[in-house]
Structure 1
Amino acid sequence: MRRPPDLSPACDFSTAQLGLITTAQCRVLGFSPDQLTDAVRRGEWERVARGVYDTRCAILGPDDHDLRRRRAITLAQLAGGPESVCVGLTALAVHEIWGVPSDLRPEVAFPGARSVRGPGGCAVRRFSPGQVEMVDGHRTVDVRTALVQALPEVSRWTGVALLDNALNKERITMDDLPDIARRVAGRRGSARWKDWWPLADGRAESPPETWARLDCLDHGLPPDELQVEVYDRFGRFVGRGDLGWRTRRGWVIAEIDGAEVHSELAALFTDRSRQNALVKIPGVTVLRYTSTDRGGIIARDVRELLSQAA
């Protein structure tokens, strides 16, 4: 039995760059059912959902976080079909809310919250999609509804980061939080959110900043200020620090680098220039951390510097 034809003609399909192709697309390209079966049997392709195949032509590395989320979004819509609506974390990924895990499992719902047989590789939720939006060609619920669906099922770290980013991007406002909290109440996992709502802060510009703030809070040293603005002796704006603690002479500032946020070369140059400018200001001490520096590392270092400045 001959192997499936070359996939290059499939480049016209938007799913090709993600390595996904549907049975319907295969028919258009002239693939026979036997060829598909043979490709899976030989391990060249993988059936990742009913009617959807992974052609293994897209190699995603461990740092390809955005592509992994895009792939999950695409798989959700391909597996769910034209009536499916992205919900929960998948919808937040469609809306480009930062903080959605890259190992996202696709989630969809159907009009009327009707129950259908799951398409495999994709979770079908009994959520009522309500008003559906089109975002970049994807059918999805709005950001508020997606948060209501997702928050009861995620950790404090993930949930607060999602709220922070939705606030920072002005997709929701602080005035929306009471309504979101009301809609979350009663869902499984909602009880723990009673103490988490006050932690949301839209000044955080990335999930790693949120995680650093929560870690410092957990270790008894929450920052005095976020997005600390620093000026020189002439009153000229020099830069802004992520997390700040006041001292008698100025600030101890913690800068938080995230792999997804600061991976581009231009961003690295900008961060380096900003840090160099900040450390030249008398009374300002700048510490730099990554998203993996947890367990009280930041609080310990800052506490030591604050004691020296006392």
Structure 2
Amino acid sequence: MGFVDRAELVRSIAAAQDDLITRAQALGAGFSRHDIDHLVAVGRWRPLARAVYLTRGPYGEPPARRCRIRAAVLSLGPAAHAVFGTAAELYGIAGLPRRDEIHVALPGRAAKLARVSDPAVVLHQLEHPLGTVVHVNGIAATEPRLTVSEIILRERRYPAVSVLDSALNRKLLTPECLATIPALIRGRRGAVAARGYLAEADGRAQSPLETRARLRCVDGGVPPDALQLEVRDDDGYLLGIGDLGWRVPRLIAEADGRDAHGAPEAAYADRRRQNRLVNAGWTILRFTWQDTLRPDYIPWTVRQAIAALQSR
């Protein structure tokens, strides 16, 4: 095989894994150790993890997050797989604080012998049953039910319920699947609290912000009686959908996330929708992420609005 053919084979392998190639893959494609070391020395390939190289990308720019996760998993061998928040990240499950750590698991003796070069990689010695490790965009990770189960055993209530809501909303879990988790976590540390989180999960929440706002209202004694409340006029025309709703006082609370509502077009649409709801006799409250950091603010504001509406 000529050098051009070998290079093309390496490019095809790297193209399927975020432009990464392992030393073993390059050797298998016909590159010599000298070839690999030369490409690294002249800056054509960039080491990202032990014996894993980034073959393309702008010089000096940090690699994408998924690329770093893949590099960490590849560097630790075929039994390695993403776990905990890192696995959730690969699925797009939201709700956990942003952390730089990359959580990777290896079974038994393999974990004890493994060497990790990236200080952000946290290696866990874990045995996972056959069939509970799958591939997400080609990266080995625990399957969604196990991922969520392990997270809610480790996290506090607000992020744990947010993760459950997100997994349900993304259809990665079904309510029936959720019902099997108590048996899966029985007897494990944190299981009692986790069962409580499961009871509060609601897949209608479309963001962690909505989950947090709902939990603040529950904790403050003013739980909403509807989520994703559809408001229609007398002809059945949909005027708008409220994130949290209290139907008797005709009150809606909106969770204003930066991503969903920050673009000008989204802001204009929100204002038009709010005008339709107000004209239909509904009162609208708006809350941000910062508001959820104060335990009393959201329930107090909701309670004041309900009292004012009921006194009319």
TM-score range, shorter chain: 0.7 to 0.9
1:93 CA displacement: 1.6
Judge which range, 99-108 or 164-173, deviates more. 99-108
Alpha-carbon distance change, 231 to 146 in structure 1, aligned in 2, over 3 angstroms: same
Aligned to 1:74, the other structure's residue is in SS state helix
Question: % of aligned pairs identical?
Answer: 35
**Inter-partner Cα distance in structure 2 for 1:213 and 1:113:** 44
Counting only pairs closer than 5 Å after superposition, residues 5-16 of structure 1 correspond to structure 2 as: 13=14
Distance 1:228 1:34 in 2: 57
Identify the residue that residue 3 of structure 2 maps to in structure 1: none
Structure 1 equivalent of residue 178 of structure 2: 177
Q: Distance in 2 between matches of 1:28 and 1:88?
A: 38
Q: How many angstroms apart in 1 are the aligned matches of 2:288 and 2:11?
A: 38
Name the SS for the 2:253 alignment partner.
Answer: strand
Residue 276 in structure 1 maps to residue 275 in structure 2? yes
Distance 2:304 2:213 in 1: 17
Structure 1 gap ranges (5+): 1-9, 40-44, 61-66
* Aligned partners of 1:88 and 1:147 also within 8 Å: yes
Deviation of residue 147 (structure 1)?
A: 1.3
CA offset digits 1:120-149 (Å, max 9, x no partner): 323233131521322212122210111122
Classify 1:117/1:101 alpha carbon distance in 2 versus 1 (closer, same or farther; 3 Å): farther
- Render the CA deviation track for 1:175-216: whole Å, top value 9, x for unaligned: 222311221222222232243221111111111100111111
**Structure 2 match to 1:6:** none
Determine whether 1:200 maps to 2:201.
yes
Report the counterpart of residue 285 of structure 1 in structure 2.
283
Task: Give me the whole-angstrom Cα distance separating, in 2, the residues matched to 1:28 and 1:273.
Answer: 64
TM-score scaled by length of structure 2: 0.75
2:5 aligns with: none
Over alpha carbons, which structure has the higher Rg? 2
Does the 8 Å CA contact 2:17/2:138 hold for their aligned counterparts? no
Contact 1:105 1:123 in 2 (8 A): no
Matched residue, 2:122? 122
- Are residues 1:107 and 2:107 paired? no
Query: What is the number of equivalent residue pairs in this alignment?
Result: 282
- Alpha-carbon distance between aligned partners in 2 of 1:22 and 1:269, rounded to the nearest angstrom: 49
Normalized against structure 1, the TM-score is what?
0.76
Tell me the SS of whatever aligns to 2:69. helix
Determine which of 84, 90, 111 is the counterpart of 1:88. Answer: 84
Equivalent residue runs for 1:145-156 within 5 Å: 145-156=146-157
Q: Is the 8 A contact 1:79 1:122 kept in 2?
A: no
1:132-151 correspondence runs (5 A): 132-151=133-152
Conserved? CA contact 1:11–1:17, under 8 Å: no
Secondary structure of 1:170's aligned partner: coil
Query: Counterpart amino acid of 1:221?
Result: V
Aligned to 2:6: none
Q: Quote the offset at 1:303 in angstroms.
A: 1.0
Q: What does 1:1-310 correspond to in 2, within 5 Å?
A: 13=14, 31-32=37-38, 35=41, 49-51=49-51, 57-58=60-61, 68=65, 70-71=66-67, 73-110=69-106, 115-120=111-116, 121-128=121-128, 130-131=130-131, 132-248=133-249, 251-264=250-263, 266-282=265-281, 284-294=282-292, 295=294, 296-310=296-310
